[in-house]
Amino acid sequence: CFCRVRNRGISPYGMKKKLWIFAFVALALFLSGFFSFFEQSRAPSDKGTDNAAYGTVKINGVSIGVELANTSEKQEQGLSGRNALGENEGMLFLFGKKDFYGFWMKDVPFPIDIVWIDGDKVIGIEPSVSPQDGDDVSNLKIYYPPAPADKALEINAGKAEEWGIREETVSRTGQ
């Protein structure tokens, strides 16, 4: 007589299915946490746009995390509307060609240093540029470099002096 005994516990198929579900959920949670940490660690503290590009500038041995203003829209927006920059953070304007690019402080509520760079050398610094009131751009003071520049770096006021940034200081950009 052939007797078939039925196991009333979990079948091997059911056990494999539960293990796969558990592994999938664990992997999803891990990846979610990993990408969340990565986003927080790489972006400046008061991010601008969600599609912003980031890089690093090294001047005088100090690494500065920067948001890249590499389009005309990002360059016009600049730090406008931001509340703050982090301790070692800034915005790097990449113009592509040398010229006398002007900067204003429209809707920037905190003072900054503007560091003008030509190639890999600092050619000028405008220290402690203060916020300006007014919506009419024609009434705002415009700051220009002392010579044509192809880059400009905006950092918290006083940082250029603190970090020993002076004219002829070499800068290196990594993206």
Q: How far is CA 95 from CA 32, 79, 166, in A?
A: 36, 16, 21
Same domain, 38 and 62: no
What the block records as the tokens of 111 is 């003072």
Q: How confident is the model at residue 38 (pLDDT cuts 50, 70, 90)?
A: very low
Q: Among 49-53, 83-87, 88-92, which stretch is predicted with the lowest mean pLDDT?
A: 49-53
| Residue 149 contacts residue 101 (beta carbons within 8 Å) | yes
Give the model confidence (pLDDT) of 121-146 as tens digits: 999 999 999 988 766 777 889 999 99
Best CA proximity match to 90, nearest among 5, 152, 170, 29: 152
Same domain, 68 and 109: yes
Same domain, 34 and 105: no
Same domain, 38 and 66: no
Same domain, 14 and 77: no
pTM over 0.85, yes/no: no
Q: Is 130 in a helix, a strand, or coil?
A: coil
| Residue 45 contacts residue 82 (beta carbons within 8 Å) | no
Inside any domain, residue 3: no
CA dist 88 and 17 (Å) reads: 49
Give the model confidence (pLDDT) of 87-128 as tens digits: 999 999 999 999 999 998 888 899 999 999 999 899 999 999
Work out the burial of residue 87: count CB atoms within 10 Å of its CB; fewer than 13 is exposed, 13-18 middle, 19 or more buried: exposed
Inside any domain, residue 130: yes
pLDDT at residue 32 is higher than 90: no
Same domain, 103 and 151: yes
